[in-house]
Structure 1
Amino acid sequence: MSRGVLSRRVIGALVAVLATVTSATVPVSAAPHGDRDGRFDQPRQGFAPPWTTLRDAPPGRVGLDSGPIDAAVARVEEWTRTHPTPGTDHPLYSGAVSLLAHDGAVVSRSAAGYAVRYADGEGTELPAAEQVPMHTDTIFDLASVSKLFTSIAVMQLVESGDVDVDAPAATYVPEFGVNGKESITVAQLLTHTSGLVSWLPLWSAYPDVPSRIQAVMDVAPQNPPGTNYEYSDLNLITLGVLVERVTGDPLDEVVAARITGPLGMVDTGYNPPAAKLDRIAATEFQSAPPRGMVRGSVHDENAWSLGGVAGHAGVFSTVDDLAILAQTILNGGTYRGERIMRRSTVEAMLENHNEAFPGNEHGYGFELDQIWYMGGLTGPRTAGHGGYTGTDLVIDLASRSFAILLTNRVHPSRSWGSINLARETLSTGLAKALAVRPVRGRASWYTGIGDASQSTLSTVSLRPRGHVRVKFDAFVDSEITDRLTLEARAEGGAWTAVPLTVTGRGAPSGEVAALSGTGHRTWWQVRADVPHAAEITLRWRFITDTRYTGRGINVDNLLVTDRGHTLLNGEKEPHKLQPDGWDLRSR
C-alpha cells in the first residue's frame, strides 16, 4: 500500500472521528447566528439535495423552536375531544394523525383520538372495547389528495413524450372530444380551467362503470374552456382514463409501478387489502347508497361506483408514506436513488399556470398559495392538496418543510363540518417554529395574534420640535385582510393612520395605508412622515379578521427623529415602547 493511499485513509478516518465528536458535543444553540437552518426569512431557492432522506430528529436539531409545534399539535389533538365552536356537542373530528418535517428531519409525529369511534350516522359511540384508537401508522382514505397521484402519472407521460400537456385531451381519449370539449387541453384538466362542472352523480344516475365513464366523456362544458376556474372531479376522472389509454394498464397498476413502488410507499394504494383493515380509519355512515359505516372502501361515492379506482379519489395512505412523497417533491423528483420525475417536470407541476384567475393559483395537479389550509406556510412556492375526508398535504419549497394532517372528519357524518381551522393551525405552527432573525440587535418585536384580534405597540408621549420622521423594518406575513398600520395621535386628538413608503422584495409600491401579505419572506424597510405637533404618540397596530392568519408580524430597528434629533431609538430604548399583544423575540 502506498504512503499516499495510507495518508488519505488516515486523514479520512480522523475527519470522520472529528465529525462524530463535533456533532455529539456542540449544542444546536452554538450554530452561527446567520445559519440558514430553520430560517423563515431566508427562503431557499431550487430543490433540496437529491440525496436528502427522511430521518427523525427533535426540532432544535434543525434550528426549529419546539414551542409553536407543540402548541399546534396540542390543539389538533384537543379537537379530537372538543369542538372550537362553543356549544357543539361533538368533537371537530374523531381522530387525527399529523407529521411535520423540515430539511429532511421529521420533527413531529402525533396520533390522537379514534380511527373507529361511532356506530351510526347520529354519532352513537361504540362501546369502549370496540373503539379503535388512532396510531401513527393508521391508513386513511385520502379523498382528493389522490388527484396528486393521477397528476404525477400524467406528467410522467408528458416527460416520456407520450403525452403533450398542451394537446387536446381528445388526442388520447377520442370520445372525450364531443359537445364542446374538442379543444380542452391536458393542461386545462390539470389546472381545473376546462370549463367542466364540478361533479356529476355518477353512482346514482348511471347503472354501471362503462355508462359512468361515458357520462364524463359526453358531458358538455358549462363555460368555454380556459375562461374560468372550476374545481372539478371530472377533470381528474378524465385524466385517469387518459393514463389508462396511453399506458394500456389500469390506473392503480400504473401508480403502483411508477410512483408508490419505486418510492417504497408500502401502505399506499387503491382498494386496500383486507389484511390491513384493522389499521384503516373509518369514514362515514352512509345510507344512500346503503353502505353502512364505510371502512376500507373509498368514501367518495363516485369513486366507489367506479370500482374504487378513479383519477379523482381512491388512494389510501399513511403520514409516513405521504412524507416520502413530499420529500420526493422537495428533492426535485427523486428519493433514495429512485427518480420518478425529472427536476424540470416537478418545476412545471409547481409553477402557477392560473395567473388569469387570482386566488385560484394552481400548478399541474398541485394547488398553490392557499392560506385557508396552508396557513403561515403559504406562499407562491407552497404546494399541496386537501381531501374531503379531512386530509391535507402542504409542501413549502421556500423552507424545505412540509406538514401532513390526516383526519377522518366525516366519521360518522360529513355534516359535522369543516376542519380548515385544524389544517391552518398545524401549518402555521410549523411556520412559527421557523426563525425570523432581527435586522439589528438581539430581538425584534413580534405579534402572532390569532383571528379577530388586535395588538398594539405604542410609544411614550413624544415632544418633537418639528416635522417627525419614522423609520423601521417590518417582516410581514399576514392574510391580505389582516393589516399592520402606523398611527399617530396628537395630544387630545384621535388616532390617525400615517401613510407608509415601503421598499424590499415583494413590497407594495407607492404610499400605502397599511402592510399585509404573505410569501415574500423578507424584511421591508418602511418610512413615514408625521405632521408636527407639540406632543405626539405613535403606535403600530395589527388587526386580524375572523378567519385565517399567516405567521405574524415583526418590527425592528425603530427610529423616530425630528430635524435630525432622535426622539426614540427602539434598539437602545425599548422601555419607551408599550406592548399589548407584542413581545421581544430573538427569532
Structure 2
Amino acid sequence: MYKKTLFLFISLIAVNVISAQLVYNTPESVGLNAIYIETNVDSIMNDAITQKAFPGAQLLVAKQGKIIFHKTYGFHTYDSIQKVAKDDVYDLASVTKITGPLPALMKLFEEGKLNLDVPFSSYWSSWKKRKDKKDITLRELLSHQAGMNPYIVFLSDVLRNGNLKKRFIKEENRKRFSNKVYNNLHVKNRFKRKVFRKIKRSKVRDDKTYVYSGLASLIYPTLIENITGENYENYLNNNFYKPLGCEVLGYNPMTKHFNNAIVPTEQDSLFRNDFVKGYVHDENAALLGGVSGNAGLFATALDMAKYMQMLVQKGTYNGKQYFKPSTVEEFTSIQYPENDNRRGLGFDKPLIRNDTLNIKEAYPAPQVSATSFGHSGFTGTFVWADPENELVFIFLSNRVYPSRTHRNIYNLNVRPKLQQVFYTSPNSEEKIINN
C-alpha cells in the first residue's frame, strides 16, 4: 500500500512539472553559469550588430521550464532611434509553418480527420486528376519529400513592367477587393484561386528527393477551414494561442491595436515601395491578405517560448493538454533519413550526423539532441526546442533590414553560435577559465 501511494505521489509530481508554465529564473537555478552565458552571448550579438548582420535582436532561452536568459540588443533600425524591447513584435516568416497550420494539422490528425499516408488529393480534390500529384501524401508534403517546386513568385502575376495590374490590385477597399496587402493596396479576393491553380499545375520532380518547398503551406489554411468548418484564424486562436497565453501571436498585427512596437523588415522596392512594418514581408503571403501557411504570423519572444515549451512538455502546458505525447513524437521525428532528408513533419531537424560536425558545418549547434526540432525564418527568426535537454531557444531579429541582401547572419553563423553557449556553459559552481 505504501509503495502504491508513493508511486501515485511521484506520478502527480511528474504531471505537475510537465504541465507547468514558464517562469523567470537565473541560469544558476538550472546549474549553468550566468557570467559565462552573458559574456559569450553579448560578444556574439555585439559583433553581429557591428558587422550589420541585423540592426537589433533578442534572445530568450528557457531550460527546465525556467526562462534563464532574455535580453535585447541593438535597435529596430540602423539609425539607432528605437531600442529593441523584450515585448517587441517580429515577423516570423517561415516559422509560421510550424506555428500556424501545423498545430491545426496535428490536432486534425489526432482526431482522425487527417491521415498522413493516404493521398492528399483525398482532402484536396483538385489534385485528383493531376497524374503527378494525385498520389502524394500529407507525410511527403510536410517532410518536403514530395518533389514539389520550392517556390512560385505570384507577384509576377500582379505586375506588368513594374506597375500593379488594376484587375488584381486596387487602392481602395471594395467588395471584391477586401484582402488588404498594404496601406491603400487591396488584392482581389479570388486571387487565392489563381494561387491554388498555379500550384496544382506546377511540376513535380520524378525522383522524390528532399526539396524544401513552401507551396503546400499556402493551401493548408483553406484545407483546415474546409475540414473544421471554422475560420482558420479563429481556430488557431481558440484552440492554441489564447489558451497558451500567447498575447500577440497572430496574423496582421496592424489590425490588433496592441501597444507593443512592431519591428520593421525590408525596404520593399518591388510593389509596396516602403519600409514594410506590421505587414507580412513575404510577397506570396501578402497577396493572400497576410494570412497564409507559409508566412504571416507575428509574435513576441515570450509567445514563441510558450508554444515551444508546450511541445517540449509533450503537448501539455499550464495544466492543459493540447496534444497526446505520441502526436508530438510523430511530428517531431525524422521521416526519411534513408533519403538524407533530416526533416520531421513540418518541423526542421538537426542535420543528419550533426553531432559529428564542427560549429561551422553544423545546423543548428552540434550539441543539440537528435530529438530536437524547430524552424528558421527568412526575416532572421529562429526557434528550437530540445526535449532531451529541456531547452527552448528563441532568437528574433530583422536581418532583412534594410535589404534581404544582408546575409551576415549566415556568414557569421550567429544563431548556432548563440545556441552552443547554453550547451557549453560550465556548471554554476565551476570557475570560468580563459573567457
- TM-score > 0.5 by shorter chain: yes
- Measured after TM superposition, the shift of residue 435 of structure 1 is 5.2
- CA deviations on 1:324-382 (whole Å, 9 max, x unpaired) are 01110111101112221111100101111121222x31111111114544214423111
2:260, 2:38 → 1: CA distance? 29
C-alpha distance 433-418 of structure 1, shift in aligned 2 (>3 A)? same
Please give the residue correspondences for 1:452-467 in structure 2 after superposition, counting only pairs within 5 Å.
none
Contact 2:98–2:346 under 8 Å retained in 1: yes
Contact 2:89–2:260 under 8 Å retained in 1: no
Equivalent residue letter for 2:421: G
1:198, 1:424 → 2: CA distance? 25
| Residue aligning to 1:92 | 53
- Measured after TM superposition, the shift of residue 241 of structure 1 is 3.0
Equivalent residue letter for 1:240: P
Question: Given the alignment of the two structures, is residue 196 of structure 1 paired with residue 148 of structure 2, yes or no?
Answer: yes
Aligned-partner SS, 2:156: helix
| Residue aligning to 2:116 | 165
- CA deviations on 1:481-510 (whole Å, 9 max, x unpaired) are xxxxxxxxxxxxxxxxxxxxxxxxxxxxxx
Q: TM-score, normalised by structure 2?
A: 0.81
Equivalent residue letter for 2:108: L
The structure 1 residue matched to 2:197, chosen from 198, 210, 214, is 214
Please give the residue correspondences for 1:249-268 in structure 2 after superposition, counting only pairs within 5 Å.
249-268=230-249
C-alpha distance 425-172 of structure 1, shift in aligned 2 (>3 A)? same
C-alpha distance 278-204 of structure 1, shift in aligned 2 (>3 A)? farther
1:289, 1:147 → 2: CA distance? 24
2:428, 2:336 → 1: CA distance? 30
C-alpha distance 66-267 of structure 1, shift in aligned 2 (>3 A)? same
Question: Given the alignment of the two structures, is residue 152 of structure 1 paired with residue 103 of structure 2, yes or no?
Answer: yes
- Aligned-residue CA RMSD in angstroms? 2.6
The structure 2 residue matched to 1:113, chosen from 53, 69, 74, is 74
Equivalent residue letter for 2:383: L
Question: Given the alignment of the two structures, is residue 427 of structure 1 paired with residue 409 of structure 2, yes or no?
Answer: no
| Residue aligning to 1:74 | 42
Larger radius of gyration: 1
The structure 2 residue matched to 1:387, chosen from 373, 377, 381, is 377
Question: Given the alignment of the two structures, is residue 312 of structure 1 paired with residue 294 of structure 2, yes or no?
Answer: yes
Please give the residue correspondences for 1:404-423 in structure 2 after superposition, counting only pairs within 5 Å.
404-420=394-410, 421-423=413-415
Q: Which has the higher helix share?
A: 2
Aligned-partner SS, 1:302: helix
C-alpha distance 47-183 of structure 1, shift in aligned 2 (>3 A)? farther
Aligned-partner SS, 1:187: helix
| Residue aligning to 1:184 | 136
2:230, 2:119 → 1: CA distance? 21
Equivalent residue letter for 2:69: S
- CA deviations on 1:207-262 (whole Å, 9 max, x unpaired) are 422212221233231334xx211111113223333222211233322221222122
| Residue aligning to 2:220 | 239
- Measured after TM superposition, the shift of residue 584 of structure 1 is 11
Equivalent residue letter for 1:194: A
- CA deviations on 1:554-573 (whole Å, 9 max, x unpaired) are xxxxxxxxxxxxxxxxxxxx
1:138, 1:190 → 2: CA distance? 30
Aligned residue pairs, count: 377
Please give the residue correspondences for 1:219-234 in structure 2 after superposition, counting only pairs within 5 Å.
219-224=202-207, 227-234=208-215
Equivalent residue letter for 2:322: I
1:250, 1:144 → 2: CA distance? 21
C-alpha distance 101-285 of structure 1, shift in aligned 2 (>3 A)? same
C-alpha distance 198-277 of structure 1, shift in aligned 2 (>3 A)? farther
C-alpha distance 48-198 of structure 1, shift in aligned 2 (>3 A)? farther
2:259, 2:131 → 1: CA distance? 43
Equivalent residue letter for 2:307: L
Aligned-partner SS, 1:394: strand
C-alpha distance 182-265 of structure 1, shift in aligned 2 (>3 A)? same
Aligned-partner SS, 2:215: helix
Any gaps of 5 or more consecutive residues in structure 1? 1-45, 84-90, 119-124, 447-582
Equivalent residue letter for 2:91: D
1:434, 1:233 → 2: CA distance? 40
- CA deviations on 1:155-205 (whole Å, 9 max, x unpaired) are 110000111111111111101332410011011111011110100011222
Q: Which has the higher strand share?
A: 1
The structure 2 residue matched to 1:174, chosen from 112, 125, 143, is 125
Aligned-partner SS, 1:404: strand
The percent of aligned pairs where both chains have the same amino acid is 29
C-alpha distance 418-138 of structure 1, shift in aligned 2 (>3 A)? same
C-alpha distance 283-82 of structure 1, shift in aligned 2 (>3 A)? same
Higher relative contact order (CA 8 A, sep 6+): 2
Contact 1:47–1:397 under 8 Å retained in 2: no
Contact 2:249–2:299 under 8 Å retained in 1: yes
1:584, 1:291 → 2: CA distance? 49
1:251, 1:388 → 2: CA distance? 23
2:150, 2:265 → 1: CA distance? 22
Q: TM-score, normalised by structure 1?
A: 0.61
